[in-house]
Amino acid sequence: MDTTDLSGYLTKQLEARTADSGRRIKTTAETMRTVAEQLRSDSNTAVAADLAERGADLVDRVGTYIEETPLDRMMADAEALSRRQPWIVAGAGIAAGILASRLLKSTAARRQTPTDFT
């Protein structure tokens, strides 16, 4: 298998997994809409229902974008965003780094905890 075939194969695999992720995100949006409908049944939670509905709309748009947009277009959009709003990209990178370090720290702590077999 030459590099062109491998690149095409990997691209197809990544696009399939991205589309699957988009569908899962859209399923989450539907769940949020169900929660919003349940919240609407009580007049005291109408504001929360509106927020849940708006959040569901946003999550649904993100899911649709991820499901339907080709990878090269996503990369071009990411590059354009990083040129227009570099601080957003830097902040997202810092947040991802902090999240990754916390995850590694918590898993390392679990591995080092001695197990008592008595």
pLDDT (tens, 9 = 90+) of the chain, 118 residues, equals 677 788 888 888 988 999 999 999 999 999 999 999 999 998 888 899 999 999 999 999 999 999 999 989 999 999 999 999 999 999 999 999 999 999 998 887 777 766 555 5
pLDDT at 4 (0 to 100): 75
Return the pLDDT at 11: 85
Confirm whether 85 is domain-assigned. Answer: yes
Q: What is the pLDDT of residue 84?
A: 96
Q: What are the tokens at 70?
A: 């080709």
Asked whether the CA dihedral 6, 68, 18, 76 is positive or negative, the reply is positive
> Is 117 part of any domain?
no
Q: What's the pLDDT score for residue 117?
A: 55
Closest by Cα among 33, 24, 39, 38 to 54 = 33
Task: Tell me the C-alpha distance between 28 and 19, whole Å.
Answer: 14
Structural domain count of the chain: 1
At 6 the pLDDT is 84
Instruction: Identify whether the C-beta of residue 56 lies closer than 8 Å to the C-beta of residue 32.
Output: yes
Q: Is residue 14 part of a domain?
A: yes
Determine the structural domain holding residue 49 and report its residue range. Answer: 3-112
In a domain, 118, yes or no: no
- Residue 51 in any domain: the answer is yes
